[in-house]
Amino acid sequence: MSSPAFSLTMLAAAVAVVATTVAVPRAEARAFFVFGDSLVDNGNNNYLVTTARADSPPYGIDYPTHRPTGRFSNGLNIADLIGENLGLESTLPYLCPELQGQRLLDGANFASAGVGILNDTGFQFINIIKIPRQFEMFQQYQERVNELIGAEETKRVVSGGLVLIVLGGNDFVNNYFLVPFSARRLQFSLPAFSQYIVSEYHKILLTLHDLGARTVLVTGTGPLGCVPAELAVRSPNGLCAEEPQRGAQLFNSGLRTMIKGLNKEVGADVFIYVNALQMHNDFINNPQAYGFASTKVACCGQGPYNGLGLCNPTSYLCPNRSAYAFWDPFHPTERANRYIVQQMLHGSRKYMHPMNLTTIMAMQHSTN
């Protein structure tokens, strides 16, 4: 649990971000590329025939348009908030027909709800954009930009861009722990599975590097055993479910070690580990210090902890989204996302390793 001094410091930071724009070096004509799952999908799945969708109310209730956009949030997700704080243009979903011409130079969001590190993750959602396909789309993107501004400038746009990739949670909750005797549970012990997906993630990140990415934020998973969905089915006493929580700890520990080694492998600090587990644990372990009334119950849902099924128009909906850490059974509220992004921008090496995003931006700004 956080110390009182630490909690007060973080509470002040959380309040400050709501009231003001953060003073960080502004990104000058920097593209932003987003890969991963529902934590950062901003609408690609709207264009797919899939059950992994967030295109109906009350999703988007606190978005500027107050309409659902495909984001699994009441408002903005972490990719939106990174862009907002850095002064980046809002990236469009890659499948959006409006992503044409000069808008391509702002980057693109390739994320798709339901995907994981492994290709067998998310099979139950029928039609989602697995990571190999997201990377194929990234290659297509580069070809389109090449036609627009030429090969050398395209290389500059990609290498100078900021990349965010968010993966891992679905490999546990929608694969390993999906059913009591899943194929992956029969194949692997939990420590062996965690080690396996970290090794597969290593391959994914190397491919991203081969595709030209040079500044990549890599998020670990949040506290998987503490989300309302897991509390609803695995926790008779309201405590975080032990096995998913252990999986998150094993994965995050392995991911940090892997990224440290990967940076040595490529000869530069290309990959930045984002300790999402610790960021979430701050407010889950001490909700009042961060202004949350609840970090167990979802704002939108049904059943115990509002953790069963999907958030939909007939679900219970809390009147004050800012009082809740979780929007639906799996995803944070915009307010929780804002705290997470503040730590990404300014957090110590406890949260961001080897450096935070503000430091990265300042270093790159000084060399331009």
Which residues are the active-site residues? 38, 328, 331
CA proximity to 131, closest of 146, 112, 151, 158: 112
Which residues, other chains included, contact 110 with Cβ-Cβ below 8 Å and sequence gap of 6+?
Answer: 33, 34, 35, 44, 94, 129, 134, 137, 138
Cα angle 118, 244, 231; round to 5 = 125
Please, how many CA atoms are within 13 Å of residue 77, restricted to the half-sphere of its CB? 27
β-strands 300-301, 316-317 pairing = antiparallel
Measure the CA–CA gap between 158 and 265, rounded to whole angstroms.
Answer: 20
Which residues, other chains included, contact 236 with Cβ-Cβ below 8 Å and sequence gap of 6+?
Answer: none
- Kind and range of the H or E run holding 301: strand 300-301
Tokens, residue 92: 């469009």
Measure the CA–CA gap between 342 and 13, rounded to whole angstroms.
Answer: 8
CB-based contact 33:159 (threshold 8 Å): no
Helix (H, G, I), strand (E, B) or coil at 164: strand
Which residues, other chains included, contact 141 with Cβ-Cβ below 8 Å and sequence gap of 6+?
Answer: 94, 104, 108
Residue type, 89: E
Measure the CA–CA gap between 340 and 345, rounded to whole angstroms.
Answer: 9
